[in-house]
């Protein structure tokens, strides 16, 4: 079997443009994947096509070989654009392999450890930074069945937080905790916003609300700063979505202090990359909570991985806060039931894309969430 072509699709979701691809083979089996990368779109799509000479003609079932060919062919390329392209091709090839054998991807990754996967809701707080609004929305999310939910209460803060803004942020957290009660986990998103001293002040103030974790309180590529915060506050720190190499995760965990890592499957090597990161984390007695702020396709991708990880903790899920037409783009994505995602059981990923529907939602340079702009939490395109 050989790869003969790749087709990409950009879907204009208002928060970020979603990038999808389909890898075609000479035996008629195709595989799909997602290559969405934060606030960049076109560099990823271009990279997937520019790398064609490195993977066209390869056997898609030899996935480690494909990784190696692209890595060496880009002169040991480890930048996020190249690793995102590699990740997408990895996932699509696993989809092909699973379909060719008639088994789900998780079966190829070692088989299921878990039959269902605890999920937390994100994206639910689309509206004003008002305690009453946050509390009511959080109550609604809990009533949907979620037993955990994450949110960023910090507005457009950057490095520091004015006293009035700190009081408002804590009031939002208090409103959510009061609304959902003591048995629903709350997770606080920092979005890489703060200096070490500010993060420590906030972390100390958050302790009374017992969050499951404080995510990326400082620039998450600054591993030493992240570890310093983790060691100085009582709230667990989670990080890792912006890391894209095994070396970065190995160094983070070796420094100590962080025991919840959040690999981005679409950034750190796809299925093979995450399995390696999870093994490093397991060696350091750390948990894995895969990051996912992409389309529902990544929910399915991550579910296959989560099911196989002995150190799986919880899975991020935006699906119930996604645009109404997201469900028209694909079928086969697992949906949350009573706080848990089922594990997909169809061949490969078990998901099919609808090309006709994807073409109805074109790219826009306004489809980006600017996290340091006032009012970003309203979830309106810039």
CATH of the domain at 226: 3.20.20.120
266 and 215 together in one domain: yes
Structural domain of 7: 3-104
Shared domain check, 225 and 147: yes
Tens-place pLDDT, residues 133-153: 999 999 999 999 999 999 999
With respect to residue 66, please indicate whether it lies within any of the assigned structural domains.
yes
Q: Is the pTM of this model over 0.95?
A: yes
| Residue 171 and residue 150 in one domain | yes
153 with 302, same domain: the answer is yes
Domain-embedded: residue 372: no
Could you give the dihedral angle defined by the CA atoms of residues 225, 231, 237 and 240, in that order, rounded to the nearest 10 degrees? 40
Please identify which of the residues 67, 291, 304, 361 carries the catalytic annotation.
291
Instruction: Indicate the average pLDDT of the chain.
Output: 96
User: Is position 191 annotated as part of the catalytic site?
Assistant: yes
* Confidence at residue 382, expressed as pLDDT on a 0 to 100 scale: 43
Q: Indicate whether 296 and 151 sit together in one domain.
A: yes
Same domain for 192 and 206 = yes
- Which pLDDT belongs to residue 374? 86
CATH number of the domain at 48, please.
Answer: 3.30.390.10
Choosing from 65, 67, 106, 191, the catalytic residue is 191
- State the burial class of residue 295 (Cβ atoms within 10 Å of its Cβ: 0-12, 13-18, 19+): buried
CA 233/CA 150 separation, integer angstroms: 19
Token pair for residue 340?
A: 């848990």
Residues 40 and 161 in one domain: no
Instruction: Count CB-CB contacts under 10 A for residue 13.
Output: 21
Q: Which of 86, 104, 122 is the last residue of a domain?
A: 104
Together in a domain, 41 and 155 = no
Tally the residues of the chain. 382
Give how many domains the chain has, as a whole number.
2
Task: Note if 49 is an active site residue.
Answer: no
* Whether 166 and 189 share a structural domain: yes
Q: Looking at the domain assignment, is residue 27 inside a domain?
A: yes
The rounded distance, in Å, linking the Cα atoms of 82 and 244 is: 10
pLDDT value, residue 380: 61
Say whether both 128 and 212 belong to one domain. Answer: yes
Which residues have CB under 8 Å from 39's CB, separation 6+? 16, 368, 369, 370
Query: Which residues of the chain, if any, have pLDDT below 50?
Result: 381-382
On whether both 127 and 85 belong to a single domain, the answer is no
Rg (CA), the chain: 20
Show the tokens assigned to 56. 């066209």
Residue 137 domain-assigned?
A: yes
Specify the pLDDT at position 135.
98
175 is a domain residue: yes
Residue 147's region, left for phi above 0, alpha for psi from -120 to 50, else beta, is alpha
Task: Assess if residue 316 is contained within a domain.
Answer: yes
Give dist(CA 42, CA 57) in Å, integer: 25
H or E element, residue 149:
strand 148-151
Q: What are phi and psi of 318, to 5 degrees?
A: -95, -5
Residues 126 and 259 in one domain: yes
């Amino acid at each position: 079997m050989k790869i003969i072509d790749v087709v990409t699709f950009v879907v204009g979701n208002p928060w970020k443009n979603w990038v999808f691809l389909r890898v075609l083979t000479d035996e008629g089996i195709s595989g799909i994947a997602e290559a969405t990368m934060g606030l960049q779109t076109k560099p990823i799509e271009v990279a997937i096509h520019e790398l064609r000479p490195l993977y066209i003609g390869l056997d898609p079932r030899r996935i480690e070989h494909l990784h190696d060919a692209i890595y060496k062919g880009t002169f040991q390329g480890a930048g996020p654009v190249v690793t995102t392209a590699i990740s997408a091709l990895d996932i699509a090839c696993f989809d092909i392999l699973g379909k060719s054998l008639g088994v789900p991807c998780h079966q190829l990754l070692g088989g299921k450890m878990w039959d269902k996967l605890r999920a937390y809701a994100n994206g639910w707080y689309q509206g004003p930074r008002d305690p009453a609004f946050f509390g009511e929305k959080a109550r609604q999310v809990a009533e949907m069945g979620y037993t955990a939910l994450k949110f960023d209460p910090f507005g457009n803060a950057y490095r520091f937080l004015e006293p009035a803004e700190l009081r408002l942020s804590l009031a939002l957290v208090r409103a959510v905790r009061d609304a959902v009660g003591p048995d629903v986990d709350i997770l606080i998103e920092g979005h890489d916003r703060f200096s070490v001293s500010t993060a420590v002040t906030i972390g100390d103030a958050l302790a009374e609300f017992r969050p499951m974790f404080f995510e990326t309180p400082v620039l998450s590529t600054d591993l030493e700063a992240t570890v310093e915060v983790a060691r100085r506050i009582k709230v667990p720190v989670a990080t890792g979505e912006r890391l894209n190499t095994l070396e970065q995760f190995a160094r983070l965990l070796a420094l100590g202090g962080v025991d919840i890592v959040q690999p981005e499957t679409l950034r750190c090597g796809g299925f093979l990359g995450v399995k390696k990161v999870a093994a490093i984390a397991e060696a350091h007695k750390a948990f894995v909570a895969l990051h996912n702020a992409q389309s529902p396709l990544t929910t399915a991708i991550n579910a296959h991985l989560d099911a196989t990880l002995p150190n799986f903790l919880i899975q991020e899920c935006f699906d119930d806060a996604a645009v109404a037409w997201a469900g028209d783009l694909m079928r086969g994505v697992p949906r949350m039931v009573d706080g848990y995602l089922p594990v997909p059981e169809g061949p490969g990923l078990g998901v099919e894309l609808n090309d006709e529907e994807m073409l109805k939602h074109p790219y826009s340079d306004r489809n980006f969430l600017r996290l340091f702009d006032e009012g970003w939490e309203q979830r309106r395109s810039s």
